[in-house]
Amino acid sequence: MAEDGRTALRRSGKASGNGAGVGAFLAGFDWLQILLMFALLTVGLIFIHSTGAQIGTASAAEFFTKQLTRWIPLGFGLWLACALLDYRKLSFKLAGVGFFLVTLAALALVLRYGIKVYGARRWLLVGSFRLQPSEFCKLALIFVLGWLFTSKHFSGATWAGIIAGAVIVLTPAVLICKEPDRGGPLILFPIAGAMLFVSGLKWRWLLVAALCGLLGFFILRHIILSESAADGRERGVPVRRHVPEPQVGTVRKAPSEPQVGAVRKSPDSPKNAGPRKHLIKTYQRKRLEVFFKPNTDIANSGHNVYQSRLAVGAGGFWGKGIGNGTQNQLGFLPQTVSNNDFIFSVIGEETGFVGSAGLLTLYVLLLFSILRTAFRAPPFGRLLATGIAVLFFCHVYINIGMCIGLAPVTGLPLPLVSYGGSFVFVSMAALGIVQSVHRRLDAPEPADEAS
C-alpha cells in the first residue's frame, strides 16, 4: 500500500504544480535509511568527542572538529550528488569504470609517493586532504563488477564473467597487499562473491567456495601455530629445575644443569640458525597468532585486543557513562586507535550491553533497508545494492569482531562511526547510490540504458 501511495504521489506530482512535485521528490527517498545514517553519524560524533575529551589535548579535540566540520559535510555532498544521479544511464556506468581506473592509478602512486605511517604507505596527500585509495577502490569495484555482470557478453555466472571478475578483483588486491595492507583485500573477495551469486551463480558453487574457505582457514591456523611453536624451540625454553636447599654445614656443588631462567637449545635447531622465513610479515603473523591463541603475548602484539576485550567487559549492562571510560582515559586502550579501529570498545565500556546492542540494531536496520531496495531493483541496481550491503556487513563484522576477539586485527573502520575522511566519503557515497536505486524503483527505464 505504501508503495502504491508513493507511485500515485509521483504521478500526481507530474500532473500538478510545484508543491506536489516537491512532495513526490521527497517521497522517493528511503527515509528510514536516511534516519539511520544520521543516527550512526551522531553516535560517531559523540564518541569521537568522548575519546578526545578524555585524552584532553588539543590534537585529540581536533579529531571531533574535523569530523563535524569537514568529513561529514563533504560526505553529505557526495551522498546528495549520488542520490540525484540516475544510476541506470550509460554515462553513470562509464563514469563508474573510469572511477575504478582512477583508483587503480592511485593505488600504484601510493606505493611510491604515499605517506608512510607506522611502516605502511596507504595515504595520498591531495591538497590538505589525506586520502586512502584502497577505501575508494571498494566502491569502485562494486561499480565495475555491476557493469560487468550485467553486460551482454558477461551477464550471469558464465566462465567468461568469472575469469574477468577474478582479474578485476585481483588487480587492486595485489596493489593493496603491497602497501602493505591485508585488511583491504579481505573485503574485496566477499563483495565479488556476493555479486557473482546474485548475478546467477548456482548454490553448489557457493557451497564449494565456502568449503574451500573453511579448509583454507584451518590450513592457515595450522601454519601459524606451527611457525609459532618452531620459533619457540629456536629461541629456547626456560628450564625450571628444582634445586634442594643445602643442609647446614654442607657445601653446594656447582650444578651441572642450568639454573632457573637458563636457555636450553632445541636439539633439532642448528647452532647458527638464521631467522625463519615466514609466509607473511612478522607483525601480521603475530596478529593471527593472537587471534588463534587468545590471551597470548598480551604485553606486546596481543595488548590491543586484550585491553579492548577488558573495556567491553568492564561496561557491564548499563556502562560507565559517556566520557567515563577508564581503559581509554588511562591509556590502557591505545589512544591512537580508540577513535577509529577500536571505537566500539569505547562504546561498549561507556554504554554497556544496552548501548552496544542499540548500535548493532542500527546496523541491522541499515542492512535491511539496503537489501529491501536490492530485492526490488532491476539487475544492475540489485548488484550495486548487494555489493554495498556486503561492504557494510564486512566492515561491521570485522571491526566489532576484532574488538571482542572474534576476528583478527586488520585496521578496518566502523562505518559512519569511526573517525576518518576516506571511509566516511565512501560510506555516504555508497548510501547515496542506494538512494538513487530506491528513487527509481517505479520509474520507467531510460532510453540510454546499457544492455
Residue 280 confidence (pLDDT): 66
pLDDT digits (tens, 9 = 90+) for 366-407: 999 999 999 999 999 999 999 999 999 999 999 999 999 888
CA 188 to chain centre: 10
**Over 80: is that where the pLDDT of 413 sits?**
yes
Alpha carbon of 238 to those of 258, 266, 329, 442: distances in Å? Answer: 9, 11, 37, 72
Alpha carbon of 397 to those of 219, 344, 369, 410: distances in Å? Answer: 22, 11, 18, 12
Band of residue 7 on the pLDDT scale cut at 50, 70, 90: low
Residue 136 confidence (pLDDT): 95
- 240: exposed, middle or buried (Cβ count in 10 Å: 0-12, 13-18, 19+): exposed
**Over 60: is that where the pLDDT of 216 sits?**
yes
Residue 20 confidence (pLDDT): 60
What is the end-to-end Cα distance of the chain in Å, rounded? 32
The owner of cell 577513535 is 339
Residue 279 confidence (pLDDT): 54
Output the average pLDDT for the chain. Answer: 81
- 319: exposed, middle or buried (Cβ count in 10 Å: 0-12, 13-18, 19+): buried
Q: Pick the most confident of 121-135, 238-252, 343-357.
A: 343-357
Say if residues 435 and 82 touch (Cβ distance below 8 Å).
Answer: yes
Residue 255 confidence (pLDDT): 43
Residue 259 confidence (pLDDT): 44
CA-CA distance, 172 to 443, in Å (whole number)?
35
pLDDT digits (tens, 9 = 90+) for 270-324: 344 444 455 566 767 777 777 787 777 777 777 788 888 899 999 999 999 998 8
Alpha carbon of 234 to those of 156, 230, 276, 326: distances in Å? Answer: 53, 6, 9, 39
Say if residues 445 and 88 touch (Cβ distance below 8 Å).
Answer: yes
pLDDT digits (tens, 9 = 90+) for 230-257: 766 665 544 444 444 444 444 444 444 4
| Mean local confidence (pLDDT), 154-161 | 78
Residue type, 92: F
pLDDT digits (tens, 9 = 90+) for 35-75: 999 999 999 999 998 888 777 677 777 888 889 889 999 99
Band of residue 4 on the pLDDT scale cut at 50, 70, 90: low
Band of residue 446 on the pLDDT scale cut at 50, 70, 90: low
pTM score: 0.83
**Over 90: is that where the pLDDT of 213 sits?**
no
